[in-house]
Chain A
Amino acid sequence: SAVISQKPSRDICQRGTSLTIQCQVDSQVTMMFWYRQQPGQSLTLIATANQGSEATYESGFVIDKFPISRPNLTFSTLTVSNMSPEDSSIYLCSANPQLAGYNEQFFGPGTRLTVL
């Protein structure tokens, strides 16, 4: 398994500002992911954070809005840029400690973002 920490755990931000969320894993992992969970909804993948290269974004998500860094095998950041109230969500990072993509993923505690 993997133990994952995220910070901040929550934040309240003003429209038009940006917030960077950090995700730290207690061991080296090949795969890290960023998900969004809007109120009352299930989780949706934003992007796969690739170590040493650009993140791979899902349809509907773009790098300018959600820039991601992955400087090493234990750490990643997600920035939510130029925020609007529609960005109010829980943001979760996850990691797959196995080499195979079909194995279990473990989640960080999440960041609850409210945009006013």
Chain B
Amino acid sequence: EDKVVQSPLSLVVHEGDTVTLNCSYEVTNFRSLLWYKQEKKAPTFLFMLTSSGIEKKSGRLSSILDKKELFSILNITATQTGDSAVYLCAVPNAGGTSYGKLTFGQGTILTVHP
């Protein structure tokens, strides 16, 4: 069974801090890893990673994948209160039954205090 594990489960920081969120995975038919931000109900897509060692960057957020060690990290620099959210890591099933199914990690609850 596919498994995605995130750490830490929760994190409390102050504005301006840098945070690193971790995601490890054990899946068959791996082709990509996705990061989402969930503030209220709907997860918002952040990044899709398919290749090891290539950093994806969007503003203060960046992410990288290590396919040898089976993990990914999401970095947020100079955090702001608006970054407070649940960050979800997910891996799509790229073959066989349940094709396209996303297996999610438990999520990391990030709280940024002013």
Contacts and interface: CB of A to CB of B under 8 A. Distances in A.
A62 B88 CA distance: 26
A107 B94 CA distance: 19
A58 B100 CA distance: 12
Given A102-B32, A105-B92, A90 B41 contact: yes
A43 to B, nearest CB: 5
A44 B4 CA distance: 12
Given A42-B106, A101-B94, A106 B100 contact: no
Interface size class of A (residues with CB under 8 A): 20 to 34
A8 interface: no
Interface string A77-116: 0000000000000101010100011111111111010000
Given A101-B92, A101-B93, A101-B94, A109 B42 contact: yes
Nearest to B107: A42
18 contacts: A35-B102, A43-B88, A43-B102, A56-B98, A58-B98, A92-B42, A94-B102, A101-B94, A101-B95, A101-B99, A102-B32, A102-B93, A102-B94, A105-B45, A105-B100, A107-B42, A107-B44, A109-B42
Interface of A: 1, 31, 33, 35, 41-45, 48, 56, 58, 90, 92, 94, 96, 100-110, 112
